[in-house]
Structure 1
Amino acid sequence: MDIISIIGLLVGLLAIILGQILEGGHLGSLVQPTALLIVLGGTTGAVMLQTPWRIFKQGMQMAAWVFKPPVPHIPDLIAEVVVWSGIARREGLLALEARIDAQSDPFVRKGLQLLVDGLEPERIRDVLEVEISIWEADMKQASKVWEAAGGYAPTIGIIGAVMGLIHVMENLSEPSKLGAGIAVAFVATIYGVGSANLVFLPMAKKLQVTLSHLVSVREMLVDGLIGIARGDNPRLIESRLESYILGPR
């Protein structure tokens, strides 16, 4: 669980709520289901219009990464690669075939299969680097779903505010209701700007950072697999892979 993401979201929301209270406002005035429906519904529709269904679905699923990123523990991963290296040196590359089915990551399974198939090291690198590039491009498009939401939400919020003001103008014969009506209208703007800058855009950036780390992990795996294919000493492989621990975590 990524605690800093939870803390950050809570701090942002509490700051707005506390500011409203200190200004003498009522929390109830910030709760407007109609404005929320306009902002979230309009933003979702706009994002869906510009995004293929597969990418949109992947982007929704990636939202969980903000609070629970699927980042493996690198020291444990390095230790596993070193074990593979030891097996390959003692028993040959074919001995790694028994390890393939135990891997949950399709990328790792493919890398081990290429080793077992006896491909040349550089050929293995070429195949896996193409795999990484395609996967990274796909995930980047999915993460941009939230970036797009952050771009549309403020504008949809303004639309909601204008709709509210139109409703106010239709009731000019009742001056006592004008102030409250205008306040309600501008809540849509708060929802639009707030959701974009407190939720959608930060989520997009967090997903991009997580994706960058996952790409580094895959590159580390490629480095380790190439070392095994070349018959490098396990200690040399371990030493080389440990440099990746200095990367973002």
Structure 2
Amino acid sequence: DFIRDRHQFGAEIFNTMGSFAPAMGMIGTLIGLVQMLQSMEDPSTIGPAMAVALLTTFYGAIMANLVFIPMAGKLKTRSKEEVLVKELIVNGVIALAVGENPRIVEQKLNAFLPPSERKSQFE
């Protein structure tokens, strides 16, 4: 449970960052628009200022959707995989401790592995 909680905390951090990134981009856009409106007397500065203002929203969306949210998903997936492996190890050790036949335990645990990773008893 400790491992699962620790991993969930890390994934939640990335999910939170993913939800805040677009908002930070919008704040940057508002700041850029205010600066653009302050320099309205020179029309040549409006275009570049508007581009900078809109880029902050773009960067916020990119960071959320291409970095933070996928990273949170990957952390959750890796956490599930790690917890499963650790549970299999514990179950195997317990089975051996109560006196089950090691070959039977090996076969039971091999059933949880993908076919490409299974060890044959004939190898």
- Give the TM-score normalised by the residue count of structure 2: 0.89
Tell me which residue corresponds to 2:48: 180
Amino acid at match of 2:42: E
Count the aligned residue pairs.
Answer: 115
2:111 is aligned with 1:243 = yes
Tell me which residue corresponds to 1:191: 59
Whether the 8 Å contact between 2:92 and 2:109 is mirrored in structure 1 is yes
Amino acid at match of 2:111: S
Query: Secondary structure of 1:163's partner?
Result: helix
Amino acid at match of 1:166: V
2:18 is aligned with 1:153 = no
| Distance apart, 1:244 and its partner CA | 1.8
Q: Distance in 2 between matches of 1:243 and 1:167?
A: 64
Tell me which residue corresponds to 2:30: 162
Whether the 8 Å contact between 2:7 and 2:75 is mirrored in structure 1 is no
93, 97, 100: which one pairs with 1:225? 93
Query: Secondary structure of 1:231's partner?
Result: coil
Q: Distance in 2 between matches of 1:213 and 1:141?
A: 16
136, 139, 143: which one pairs with 2:4? 136
| Distance apart, 1:134 and its partner CA | 2.1
Amino acid at match of 1:221: I
Q: Distance in 2 between matches of 1:160 and 1:233?
A: 65
Amino acid at match of 1:159: I
Amino acid at match of 1:182: M
Query: Secondary structure of 1:173's partner?
Result: coil
Query: Secondary structure of 1:240's partner?
Result: helix
Identical amino acids, percent of aligned pairs:
35
Name the Cα RMSD after superposition: 1.2
C-alpha offsets along residues 143-178 of structure 1, whole Å, 9 cap, x if unaligned? Answer: 211111100000000000110000000001111110
Tell me, which stretches of 5 or more residues in structure 2 are unaligned?
Answer: 118-123
Q: Distance in 2 between matches of 1:143 and 1:194?
A: 18
- Give the TM-score normalised by the residue count of structure 1: 0.45
Query: Secondary structure of 1:156's partner?
Result: helix
Query: Secondary structure of 2:112's partner?
Result: helix
Tell me, which stretches of 5 or more residues in structure 1 are unaligned?
Answer: 1-132
Q: Distance in 2 between matches of 1:142 and 1:193?
A: 21
